[in-house]
Chains A and B, each alone.
Chain A
Amino acid sequence: DIQMTQSPSSLSASVGDRVTITCRASQSISTYLNWYQQKPGKAPKVLIFAATSLQSGVPSRFSGRGSGTDFTLSISSLQPEDFATYYCQQSYSTTQFTFGPGTKVDIK
């Protein structure tokens, strides 16, 4: 099975900061990598699919990069509504989908 790791597990940042979260796959997954945002008490929401494509309606301050095993999610200027937990997820294996453990972004 493909294992996903994320770093850091949590971070504290201020409004306006640039934030970058890293996701690593245990084997190459090409660009089959998606990013989700989850706020407390809410269902997750897709932000980025296929490593770099911004989902419709998602602000352009979110961006994704990477291919193979190493990926990043960046928020160019953190907004109050961005404080949440972020998960990466691989869809390379079409029979076993795995999420990263999550990165919690909170207010400094």
Chain B
Amino acid sequence: EVQLVESGGVVIQPGGSLRLSCAASGFTFDNYVMHWVRQAPGKGLEWVSLFSGDGNIHYADSVKGRFTVSRDNTKNSLYLQMNSLRVEDTALYYCVKDKGARSSWFFDYWGQGTLVTVSS
């Protein structure tokens, strides 16, 4: 059974830094594209970042230069380093597995999310 468990969400002040983690199990982690997708309270879904199995990395324009995605295939884990946080980064952050390996196909498994609140 595929499981994705996010952690690291907290209440943090604007300008702060935070690292989210996602522990994956139930599939061969290094074979698949992994994403971070966020959802602000009461709002829609926003794609944040991807890290493919062969090392390609991409970011949404809204987080480029502030967020860094990484993965440790030996620990079956995905990470999101978030710097220079803004109030508008407040959201539930989902770790998402893609059906695809080298490129995205569709998002087939989602974690339950970890809540990041940026507030003074």
**Which B residues are in CB contact (< 8 Å) with A87?**
44-45
**Which A residues are in CB contact (< 8 Å) with B111?**
43
Let me know if A43 and B104 touch, CB within 8 A.
no
- Residue positions of A touching B, CB distance < 8 A: 1, 34, 36, 38, 43-46, 49-50, 55, 87, 89, 91, 94-102
**Which A residues are in CB contact (< 8 Å) with B45?**
36, 38, 44, 87, 89, 99, 102
Let me know if A96 and B60 touch, CB within 8 A.
yes
Q: Across the interface, name the chain B residue whose C-beta is closest to A94.
A: B103
Let me know if B61 and A1 touch, CB within 8 A.
yes
5 contacts between A and B (CB under 8 A): A49-B105, A55-B108, A91-B105, A96-B47, A96-B61
Let me know if A49 and B110 touch, CB within 8 A.
no
Report the Cα distance A87→B94, complex, angstroms: 15
Report the Cα distance A87→B37, complex, angstroms: 13
Q: Across the interface, name the chain A residue whose C-beta is closest to B57.
A: A95
**Which A residues are in CB contact (< 8 Å) with B58?**
94-96
Report the Cα distance A54→B6, complex, angstroms: 28
User: Apart from A49-B105, A87-B45, what are 15 other A-B pairs with CB-CB below 8 Å?
Assistant: A34-B106, A43-B111, A44-B45, A45-B110, A49-B106, A50-B105, A50-B106, A89-B47, A89-B106, A95-B58, A97-B104, A98-B47, A99-B45, A99-B47, A100-B44
